């Protein structure tokens, strides 16, 4: 078993067993989005407040579809991303204006940011100060909760950050094999007159993926990973001399052994330990 440079879910046999007993049942968007709201907020390891203020909820093809439409929507702005965040953003925003930032944002930008932060596995230390700047400068923010289902020790009150216009999450990192089914969601404060809204309004969503998502969210809580695998996570990090994080699949290495895992933040070496779990 090896460390991974990217981000992959843990290949648990019980998750695969649950996948194989799934039987497709046609579902409505209301059932799907209600299940998502309950799943995200029914947690003892983290808190998210203010989600009810995001009245418009859509099925998305993973989180990536939300990112695509956010970049299109703000094509006249410079897309800003914190150094070390999901590389996908640079790929889709590069034809337009794009920049990496460290701790300061500027008027005229639009920001995509992950929580927990993709490169650290915990909340970025500048997260709150940057969002306060976004409030001040009226910078629209897309909040990426892709790791919410395998995170702990994260607390956010969305009411404090009116700059956050969209929130997106998916089940790709929480449940092995669902990354191939693109089970995502987008929460919006205001109506988004875009392709995602249109696809949902004309009922052209991937209802098989929606059914799968409900099948998993009703069986496993948003805290289940840490509850069942937390002790094993600690043991893996101890055995491999890695620093723990707040994201179940991530740990932090060092320059001597893990230089090739650096993603742009000086002195930071995030490693994915998914394959080290006993399944």
User: What average pLDDT score do residues 23-37 get?
Assistant: 95
Residue 122: is its pLDDT beyond 80?
A: yes
Indicate the length of the chain as a whole number. 279
Contacts of 115 (CB under 8 A, 6+ apart): 123, 124, 127, 143, 144, 145, 147, 148, 154, 156
* pLDDT value, residue 88: 85
Residue 224: is its pLDDT beyond 70?
A: yes
* Tokens matching residue 104: 């300061």
* Tokens matching residue 177: 């094999």
Contacts of 6 (CB under 8 A, 6+ apart): 272
HSE-up (13 A, CA, CB side) for residue 174: 31
Question: Are the beta carbons of 180 and 152 closer than 8 angstroms?
Answer: no
Provide the whole-model pTM. 0.96
Question: Are the beta carbons of 251 and 243 closer than 8 angstroms?
Answer: yes
Residue 1: is its pLDDT beyond 80?
A: no
Distance of CA 37 to the CA centre of its chain: 15
Q: What is 26-217's CATH number, 3.40.630.30, 3.30.1300.10, 3.40.800.10, 3.40.640.10?
A: 3.40.640.10
CA distance 279 to 277: 6
Residue 96: is its pLDDT beyond 80?
A: no
CA distance 81 to 264: 12
Per residue in 37-72, pLDDT (tens digit) is 999 999 999 999 999 999 999 999 999 999 999 999
């Amino acid at each position: 078993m090896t460390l991974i440079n990217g981000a992959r879910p843990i290949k648990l046999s019980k998750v695969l067993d649950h996948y194989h007993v799934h039987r497709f049942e046609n579902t409505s968007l209301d059932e799907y989005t209600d299940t998502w709201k309950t799943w995200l907020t029914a947690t003892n390891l983290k808190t998210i407040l203010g989600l009810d203020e995001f009245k418009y909820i859509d099925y998305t093809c993973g989180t990536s579809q939300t990112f695509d439409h956010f970049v299109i929507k703000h094509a006249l702005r410079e897309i800003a991303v914190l150094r070390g965040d999901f590389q996908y953003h640079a790929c889709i925003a590069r034809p337009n204006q794009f920049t990496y930032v460290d701790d300061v944002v500027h008027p005229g930008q639009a920001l995509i940011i992950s929580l927990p932060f993709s490169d650290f596995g915990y909340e970025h230390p500048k997260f709150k100060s940057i969002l306060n700047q976004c409030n001040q400068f009226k910078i629209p923010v897309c909040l990426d909760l892709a790791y919410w289902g395998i995170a702990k020790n994260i607390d956010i009150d969305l009411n404090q950050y009116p700059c956050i216009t969209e929130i997106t999450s998916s089940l790709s990192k929480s449940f092995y094999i669902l990354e191939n089914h693109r089970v995502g969601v987008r929460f919006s404060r205001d109506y988004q007159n875009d392709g995602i809204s249109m696809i949902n309004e004309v009922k052209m969503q991937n209802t098989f993926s929606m059914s799968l998502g409900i099948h998993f969210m009703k069986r496993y809580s948003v805290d289940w990973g840490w509850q069942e695998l937390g002790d094993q996570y600690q043991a893996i990090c101890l055995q491999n001399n890695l620093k723990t994080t707040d994201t179940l699949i991530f740990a932090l290495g060092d320059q001597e052994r893990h230089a090739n895992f650096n993603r742009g933040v000086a002195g930071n070496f995030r490693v994915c330990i998914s394959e080290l779990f006993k399944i």
